[in-house]
Amino acid sequence: MSTFKTTRAPLRAVATGVATLALALVVSAPVLASSTLSYRATFVEPVGGPMQSPFDCAPGTSCGTANVAGLGHGTSVVVFNACGLWCHLRTITFQDGSTLVIEEYGPLPEFAPRGNAGGHGYNGFGLAGNPQFLDATQTIVGGTGQFAGASGTAAGSVKVAGGVATIVVSGTITIP
């Protein structure tokens, strides 16, 4: 009988190890799965006027701050027409160094004042009327770090007033 017990002990240890590994995989599976989350982002970018000079952005770009609710804060740079006519490429760099890369569509000639703003005020683009608005859509096409492989879509608007562009969009983001 003692021979039987000695041969079963290693089997019991192996079975316990396999069961523990299986349990660990089941518990960690939700963490490994992709997550689709609400995405709400606000970008603030100086675009002109005496209070915004000198500019820190390269020609053909706009830059400023980014606040993505629940995901973090950072800086944002938009390269105009980088992905086609009226398709602008936005890169958000978060405080941990991770990035989100976004294609943003908004035909710049469609900026217009709402209501009866008329031709009064200064908006920083040299356009008549303050403020100016533009509908915009975003497609999240990738990222690095914690956002590697991210995807998603959002829609919102751009408001330009007093030499500052404020972009507010909402949608969803999927992070693998």
Number of residues that make up the chain: 176
Element (H, E) at 118: none
Single-letter amino acid code for the residue at 87: C
31 pLDDT band, cuts 50/70/90, is: very low
Residue range 91-114: average pLDDT?
A: 90
pLDDT over 90 at 115, yes or no: no
pLDDT over 80 at 172, yes or no: yes
Residue range 2-6: average pLDDT?
A: 52
Token code pair at residue 50: 């005496």
Element (H, E) at 112: none
Residue range 159-167: average pLDDT?
A: 87
Give the pLDDT of residue 34: 87
Answer for the pair 106, 64: CB distance below 8 angstroms, yes or no.
no
Q: Is 133 left (phi over 0), alpha (psi -120 to 50) or beta?
A: beta
Which of 132, 141, 134 shows the shortest CA–CA distance to 103?
141
pLDDT tens-digit readout, 136-162: 999 999 999 999 999 999 999 999 887
Place of tokens 């403020």: 131
109 pLDDT band, cuts 50/70/90, is: confident
**162 by DSSP, 3-state: which?**
coil
Q: Please state which CATH number belongs to domain 34-175.
A: 2.40.350
Backbone angles phi, psi at 20, to 5 degrees: -65, -45
